[in-house]
Structure 1
């Protein structure tokens, strides 16, 4: 009973964290858009169409979007009633207790940490190719990790530190920067939509579903609309970062649900429109390229598309990186405050009103991973971590409705418990379509986290003390 009361009390205590309350609903919505629109729309759309879904990649995005929508409604309810900067970690802490919360936090570190390093590597690749368009070439030793024959992936390493410094300056300044860059990349997408709509050829949509709903090839690869949905789900990865900003929102009970739902709805519409146009102007079999949007525009006669799309991608990935790093620091901030990692990292700089020590630590670790370690397929594990966190949030809504029925809920899910149950089923189904090797890596990551919990966290936890 005492631990249950302490978990409930944490809701109130964490509302006075010392972090600066300065973010509006508009800032939160753009935070979600900034993180969600990036690699998914510029890269995965074409790859999923060519290798897994065909023109029915539109359905893949709809399925992934619906699953995310169920999770978003669950996030909105918990964000409005519990708050806290730990996202699904904080919600699990209140709903299930410390151990499950630690596992959830450990999964989120995989989602945000590995995701940040993977996006930094992708950004570096586009940055190098963009410089080459202007006849500026970086030495190969400065663009590859040591195991790939270089010394360091300097662009990936540097962009992490630039954004780390920006986060240290202040969250409002970071939000302003994010808002500006989001407008730039949305302008790029608007240009693509305008140009592509003038060259639409509906015959390219036939056959619409060449790979069916789902099947497995002899080499173990999954194909079909449902397999495509599990791949393009990466496009929705990160919109939940909005919930990590609870303690810096001016009116979290009202603004967090708005930010979550608006950002997800907007991104889903954009994904559907872009994927429909992309497969409508170029045969889907030709879209298995690193930059399918640029390739498609070039095919219809716009040779200047490479520079345009490179600008959009660079801008888009910068905001994705910024929001991922922000979310990572706030999750670790919450875990530190609960004693599960060193309390040093939950100290807030009184001048900047930001947790500068945890920001520096995250910047150092992620920059080293991005600069010196080629991630390869490890980044695919991000998807399963995101889906797992969505499921836990949906379960948390059901549990808290039973355990704390009188908890004030400014936003309540309609048709409870149907929405969270549908979220559990849809996200769970998408997890089953992921490759076996992804499950194996995910299991190993969780085991490592459990070992750390019993070696350190359980002995320093404020709850257990």
Structure 2
């Protein structure tokens, strides 16, 4: 098929600034996970499910996620795009499939923002000694953090990286101090703590905990969504994700043994902030710093989750799948409305949660479903890679020994099988271990995604696909349009 390429002004003017280096992408990938925030916020649910066997669940989910980061590296090298998962499926599996994966991406990241805003507000107010804040205080503080996050993002990619690195430094220092103090105090066992005994493990609880753990090991994929903003778009994106995924797992495997060994299990299972609880138990003088570190981790996760969503919406707008408004850039070359609109809607969701108690249960269900869609994104990317290697990549068909594709094929198979099992477990165990009715909410949101695919399929305008190319011989433009079937 003959490919039509045209350097439309609209496309050229939509170029993002290429400013990120590997150090920037790596810091974005680590901070996006928000490891301290994830431990503080999710520890109670994880301990309730698995007891002292939480580290087993983390290792279990870490394996497919690290393999998935390798898959992301390869897909980035072939198809660098700010749309990442959405764009890869468009190039590999086709238009309709990409529309569904685009819906998955929107559900995953938009519904992840309000669950960060509310803890950010509560952690901040708690640091000022307000243990039971009023609804007005929670809303005002949430708006404050949302506004700050929007400003960080709107000031440009370079500013986003610098602020993220400053906040991440606070987090890294806290982990380092906690590790030194915690393991130096290892011989002093706190009454009520627990140890892992393989013959006493509640394996059904470990499976449920693995489902929950899947929601705290994601975020490293942000460097894929930042690939068009990398100085070397076919080289560094993907490596930052691998560094981020491995670093976060190391964080968790350093922190969790300390929590389980030095804090009573019953207190961990009911605590809203396990890390501050650890500091109070082991070294009370470290409590203020730990609170600041958790807040820094939460804030970084907030604007970087919005970053991912904004770049995905930007890519979808270029292809005509969402309103063109989401594709407009400001003077700093970042997608203005793709940042502002999700932030405004997230604030509205938080306000309704806090002000209207009758809606809180519904929103809690929908927000809890974000974890399912985050895992679904990686599952579909595993399918993308599997299909690409088997049906599209000449090396894998012509020479089974070629390059690293045999290992990549094995990784894709493992990712698909394991994450599909996690999704099934999410639907089966979710109503009991996460929230009653969450299975129905997930099925409803998936049905809406299918309806959205049908809506886009019926539109009269021809679909487009934008590709990012750094070859100098393609009309001298980094962004071009190609026919949808290419």
* Same-fold status (TM-score > 0.5): yes
- Quote the Cα distance in structure 1 between the aligned partners of 2:415 and 2:457: 30
Equivalent positions of 1:58-457 (< 5 A) are 58-132=55-129, 140-143=134-137, 153-201=139-187, 204-209=193-198, 212-215=201-204, 223=205, 225-288=206-269, 289-300=271-282, 302-349=283-330, 351-373=331-353, 374=360, 375-406=363-394, 415-434=407-426, 435-436=430-431, 437-455=437-455
- Quote the Cα distance in structure 2 between the aligned partners of 1:121 and 1:258: 32
- Quote the Cα distance in structure 2 between the aligned partners of 1:202 and 1:90: 52
Task: Answer yes or no: is the 8 Å Cα contact 2:279–2:290 preserved in 1.
Answer: no
Q: Please, what TM-score do these two structures have when normalized by structure 2? A: 0.83
What displacement does 1:366 show?
2.1
Residues 15-47 of structure 1: CA deviation (Å, up to 9, x unaligned):
995100000111111111011124322232354
What displacement does 1:332 show?
0.4
Task: Answer yes or no: is the 8 Å Cα contact 1:161–1:367 preserved in 2.
Answer: no
SS in 1 for 2:173: helix
- Quote the Cα distance in structure 2 between the aligned partners of 1:361 and 1:407: 43
What displacement does 1:91 show?
0.9
Residues 210-245 of structure 1: CA deviation (Å, up to 9, x unaligned):
863533xxxxxxx2x222111122111222122110
Q: RMSD between aligned alpha carbons?
A: 2.9
- Quote the Cα distance in structure 1 between the aligned partners of 2:199 and 2:125: 36
- Quote the Cα distance in structure 1 between the aligned partners of 2:367 and 2:90: 27
- Quote the Cα distance in structure 2 between the aligned partners of 1:14 and 1:280: 56
- Quote the Cα distance in structure 2 between the aligned partners of 1:200 and 1:414: 44
Distance 1:102 1:282, change over 3 A: same
Distance 1:360 1:305, change over 3 A: same
Task: Answer yes or no: is the 8 Å Cα contact 1:182–1:316 preserved in 2.
Answer: yes
Residues 380-408 of structure 1: CA deviation (Å, up to 9, x unaligned):
21111111111111111121123332599
Q: Please, what TM-score do these two structures have when normalized by structure 1? A: 0.86
Residues 147-203 of structure 1: CA deviation (Å, up to 9, x unaligned):
xxxxxx221122112211221110111111001100111111222112211222597
Q: Which residue of 2 aligns with 1:462?
A: 463
Distance 1:430 1:141, change over 3 A: closer
Task: Answer yes or no: is the 8 Å Cα contact 1:92–1:101 preserved in 2.
Answer: yes
- Quote the Cα distance in structure 2 between the aligned partners of 1:452 and 1:226: 32
Distance 1:312 1:40, change over 3 A: same
- Quote the Cα distance in structure 2 between the aligned partners of 1:46 and 1:194: 24
Gap regions ≥5 residues in structure 1: 145-152, 216-222
- Quote the Cα distance in structure 2 between the aligned partners of 1:178 and 1:167: 10
Q: Which runs of 4+ in 1 moved over 4 A?
A: 13-17, 201-205, 411-414
Residues 273-316 of structure 1: CA deviation (Å, up to 9, x unaligned):
1011111112323311111122122223x223432221111100
Distance 1:318 1:20, change over 3 A: same
Gap regions ≥5 residues in structure 2: 354-359, 397-402, 432-436, 465-482
